[in-house]
Amino acid sequence: MRTPRNDQLTETDRAKGRGQHVPERRCVVTGEVAPAERLVRLALGPDGGIAPDVLGKAPGRGAWIGVTRETLEAAQAKGKLKGGLARALHESHIAIPDDLGERIEAQLRRATLDRLGLESRSGTLISGNEKIEQAARRGQVRLLLHASDAGEDGRKKLAQAWRVGEGDEGSGREGLILPVDRQSLSMALGRENAVHLAVVDARAADRVLAHLSRWQFFTGWSRDAANRVSDTDSRTAGNGTASTDSEVSGA
C-alpha cells in the first residue's frame, strides 16, 4: 500500500503496523472493501430516508460508500445505489434525496474544517509564513497545507523549508492544497488571512488527513488523495454483497 506524499501514515496504517484489528466495510456501489475511516456512512432514518453520516455517529442502521461524487451520482441515476442500499440494509422502502452527493460533500467539507479548527485551538496547528518556516526548518512540521488561492512562491518556499528540516531535499515533498480559499479558511479558523497552515503533531496530522483525504477523494480534487483512499491492500472485490454497520468478516 502506498503512503501519502507527505510520508504521513494514517491511524489505519499505524494500527496495522502494530498488528491491531482495523474495522472494514464494503461499499454498496462497488462491492469493494476498505477501512471504515476511508468510507462514508449513509444512515437509514426511521422513515426510510437516507442521509449522509460522515462522522459515523448517527443512530440506527447504515451502509457505506467509497466512491467519488461523480460515480455516486451516476449510480444513483441508474438505480444501482438504491439497489445496493436495499440489499445491504434489507429494506425495500428507501428514499434517497436527489442532492445526496451535494449533502455528502458539504458534510465532508464541514468535518475537515471543524477538525482544523479543533487542532488550531489545541495548539497543534500553526499559521503564518514566518512561524511555519521556522517550525519547518526545525523539523517540527508533520503536515503542510495551503489555501487554494495561496501563491506558488509562498508554497514553494515553505515546502523547501520543510524538506530542509526533514533532511529530505530533492525529494519533491510538498504541502497539500485545500479545496477552499483563504477567505473560507480564515472564517473556519477564526483567524485573519489564513493562507498557509502547518500541523506540528503526528497524531493531529493523522486526524486531519483522515478527514481531508475523504473530502478530496469524494470531490475528485486531488488524484494523490484518491490513491491514498482507494489503493489499499485490504480492498477486495468480493462477491458484490455490500456490508452494513457490521464489520466485514474474513476480510
User: Computed from CA positions of residues 14, 126, 163, 228, in that sequence, does the dihedral angle turn out positive or negative?
Assistant: positive
Per-position pLDDT tens, the chain of length 251: 233 333 444 455 554 444 567 789 999 999 999 999 999 999 999 999 999 999 999 999 999 999 999 999 999 999 999 999 999 999 989 999 999 999 999 999 999 999 999 999 999 999 999 999 999 999 999 999 999 999 999 999 999 999 999 998 878 889 999 999 999 999 999 988 899 999 999 999 999 999 999 999 999 985 443 333 334 333 333 444 566 776 553 33
Residue with cell 519533491: 172
* pLDDT attached to residue 154: 95
Instruction: Look up residue 86 and give its three cell numbers.
Output: 436495499
Contacts for 188 with CB less than 8 Å, ≥ 6 apart: 113, 114, 116, 117, 180, 194
Cβ-based burial of 136 (10 A; exposed 0-12, middle 13-18, buried ≥19): buried
> β-pairing, 196-199 with 143-146?
antiparallel
Render 67-102 in DSSP notation, one character per residue.
S-HHHHHHHHHTTHHHHHHHHHHT-S--B--TTHHH
CA dihedral 154, 157, 160, 165 (to 10 degrees): -100
Bridge partners (DSSP) of residue 53 are 41
pTM of the model: 0.81
* pLDDT attached to residue 2: 32
C-alpha 221/C-alpha 224 separation (Å) is 9
Side-chain-facing half-sphere of 177: CA atoms under 13 Å: 14
- 139-163 as b/e, with b when 16 or more CB fall inside 10 Å? ebbbbbbbbeebeeebbebbbbbbb
